Structure 1
């Protein structure tokens, strides 16, 4: 059974920090040539140097994933430099502060921004990846970064984000059907809380981290390498018959938010 990625070319969006950085390093460690994409050129350059200093190959491409032209240019850069694309990880995404409120209060502009970053950008990435992968004979692996929030009722701030993540989970499953005839596998990863810079504003103390860990049967919150391991598996030949799946990387948790706590808090404040 082969978990290595030797000879493969991987594109990872949101590669500069957090999950994208961990996935990129894991892919390089397993032998892949990695195309690093995000808006932060300095972070990309630093990561590319780390990979090349360790004997790997990396290309840093500053990319705004909400621009279809920029994502197409990213795919073109990968093809021009390495000749093919075997793996594409749609990882870039995140919260839009103005959308982190009750659904009844989300305005149209914030909703559009949330959808553009977390849904439309993934469609652009999938289209670019499919085009690139169809140029070869070996198919490929397309991975969407979803969230445990996709499967929760997340009132009071995370509902819009969770809805976006459920949307891309559904899109990934649909693409698995559409692209299967080309040998392209499409899967999604749904992490629970992971300690990354995206959540620095939430995980501000050991006490808060310990409180969040209570939601998880394994007794801890996730680390980037936990998700990177799942991404290596789905990209590898060991997962050659896995497509249309959503892999929960959540320490055994099925839910990580409690709607009853939300309802109780609002009742107390009513």
Structure 2
């Protein structure tokens, strides 16, 4: 059973900051070739400049993945740089407070597009490339690719002002399952990591602004702490590696036990 991703090529979206950046760094440190994709080109340039060349190779692609042409260009740029795509990590996520009683609130449509439809479109495009690669390699056995979506425990929680975030997370989970079934005959695996509160820059800022938030999160987490982004990245590596070769259509929860508690209004970051 191998957890190695050395020499494999991955696209990681949302890679300019947060968990997406942590996944990209983790993959590069373990010898993978990674195309970091994000809309924030300045941050991508800064992060690429700080990455160690002793592991894998890092390249970046800046663009708005809500545009179909941008999706096609990202895949083409990755093929030009590395010749193939073995792993896709859809880590681009957006959270937005919404009013569940306002019919003019566009948060649901916005987050469905940002958090689910963008990931679905890129997954479909990358999957077609993975299928062509397998045909060109003339391989009859072994894995052909792994797609990992970063989701949230918000799909299982109820918090009124995060309705749009919860709906988009649940939709992404179901898209994960549906794609897993569709791509299983091609031996392309599709899974998701649903995580709770992770000590990212955005959460650090929220904790600074809300003095009781840290204690609230820890109090609602059986393991009594907040996860690091590296812990999510390690789970993503497992799903990308051959060690999880018989795992598909699963939503792996990394939340310190938080979803085991019956807390309706717990913050679902």
What TM-score do you get using the length of structure 1 for normalisation? 0.89
Question: What corresponds to 1:159 in structure 2?
Answer: 163
Alignment equivalent of 1:116, drawn from 113, 118, 124: 113
Once the two structures are TM-superposed, the CA of residue 260 in structure 1 deviates from its matched residue by 6.0
Question: What corresponds to 1:203 in structure 2?
Answer: 207
Alignment equivalent of 1:213, drawn from 218, 223, 227: 218
Question: What corresponds to 1:132 in structure 2?
Answer: 129
2-structure distance, mates of 1:3, 1:23: 15
Question: What corresponds to 1:267 in structure 2?
Answer: none
2-structure distance, mates of 1:69, 1:217: 45
What TM-score do you get using the length of structure 2 for normalisation? 0.89
Which segment drifts farther, 246-255 or 52-61?
52-61
CA RMSD of aligned residues (A): 2.0
Q: Counterparts of 1:1-270 in structure 2 under 5 Å?
A: 1-96=1-96, 100-105=97-102, 107-137=104-134, 138-155=143-160, 157-204=161-208, 207-254=212-259, 258-259=263-264
**Are 1:68 and 1:121, in contact at CA under 8 Å, matched by a contact in 2?**
no
Unpaired stretches in structure 1, ≥5 consecutive residues: 263-270
**Are 2:147 and 2:188, in contact at CA under 8 Å, matched by a contact in 1?**
yes
1-structure distance, mates of 2:253, 2:126: 23
**Are 2:159 and 2:266, in contact at CA under 8 Å, matched by a contact in 1?**
no
**Are 1:148 and 1:255, in contact at CA under 8 Å, matched by a contact in 2?**
no
**Are 1:65 and 1:92, in contact at CA under 8 Å, matched by a contact in 2?**
no
Deviations 1:72-98 (A, max 9, x none): 2111111111011000011101123xx
2-structure distance, mates of 1:257, 1:200: 25
Once the two structures are TM-superposed, the CA of residue 106 in structure 1 deviates from its matched residue by 5.3
**Are 1:141 and 1:234, in contact at CA under 8 Å, matched by a contact in 2?**
yes
2-structure distance, mates of 1:61, 1:106: 36
Deviations 1:136-186 (A, max 9, x none): 22510001111000011222x111101100001000001000001111000
Deviations 1:228-247 (A, max 9, x none): 01001000111111100000
Number of residue pairs aligned between Structure 1 and Structure 2: 258
2-structure distance, mates of 1:253, 1:259: 11
Distance change in 2, residues 1:142/1:213 (3 Å): same
2-structure distance, mates of 1:249, 1:193: 9
**Are 1:84 and 1:135, in contact at CA under 8 Å, matched by a contact in 2?**
no
Which segment drifts farther, 112-121 or 139-148?
112-121
